[in-house]
Amino acid sequence: MAVQYWLMKSEPDEVSIDDLAAAPKQTVPWTGVRNYQARNFMRDMMRVGDGVLFYHSSCPEPGIAGIAEVASTAYPDETQFDAKSKYHDPKSTRESPRWQHVDVKLVRKTRLLSLKEMRAAPALATLRTLQPGNRLSITPVTPAEWKAVMQLLESA
């Protein structure tokens, strides 16, 4: 089957591209997703080796900061059981965990492809995360969109 592509948003205050680069094995568990659609993408759709656009959100310069890949299939998110975590979910149980996530591994840090630049690129007009009102933290990326991002990263 062909490789699939995703865009995953992270707040740099939580996990930045540099944090990913500094992590053991340059891999982090993508914990804290508390949206069913985003969870379903990870649980049902992602496969090891899928391409990931690592996107910085809620920061001074939003945009794509690097390339990563899916490094595991989905498994239960430990933070949902941690009463001290801000991601604690009292309604979730060990017997039937509500939240799952995959691991994400750095492929390479890139120049910052800013949100502004992304919006200006006709080839990215269809990108799910750029659609008005879209707040999903994980969205699918088409092969054409992925290719367009790679080309933009090589320019400038």
Interface residue with DNA among 21, 22, 48, 59 (CB under 7 A) is 59
**Count of positions on this chain that bind DNA (CB under 7 A):** 19
Stretch touching DNA by CB under 7 A, among 45-53, 65-73, 126-134, 144-152: 126-134
Question: Could you give the C-alpha distances from 155 to 110, 111, 113, 116, 117, in angstroms and in order?
Answer: 12, 10, 10, 15, 11
In the list 24, 90, 122, 132, the residue contacting DNA (rule: CB under 7 A) is 132
26, 57, 72, 92: residue in contact with DNA (rule CB under 7 A): 57
Closest separation in Å from C-beta 114 to DNA: 8
Closest CA to 102 of 72, 60, 62, 139: 72
Tokens representing residue 97 in the block: 């965990």
The answer to whether residue 9 forms part of the interface with DNA (CB under 7 A) is yes
User: Does the footprint of DNA cover residue 34 (CB under 7 A)?
Assistant: yes
CB of residue 24 to DNA, shortest distance in Å = 25
Of the candidate residues 88, 116, 125, 144, the single one contacting DNA (CB under 7 A): 116
- Specify the 3-state DSSP secondary structure of 78: helix
User: Is residue 90 a contact point for DNA (CB under 7 A)?
Assistant: no
Is residue 63 helix, strand or coil?
strand
Of 70, 90, 84, 78, which is closest to residue 28 (Cα–Cα)?
Answer: 70
Cα–Cα–Cα angle for 17, 22, 27, nearest 5°? 75
Q: Which residues bind DNA (CB under 7 A)?
A: 9, 11, 34-37, 57-59, 62, 91, 115-116, 132-137
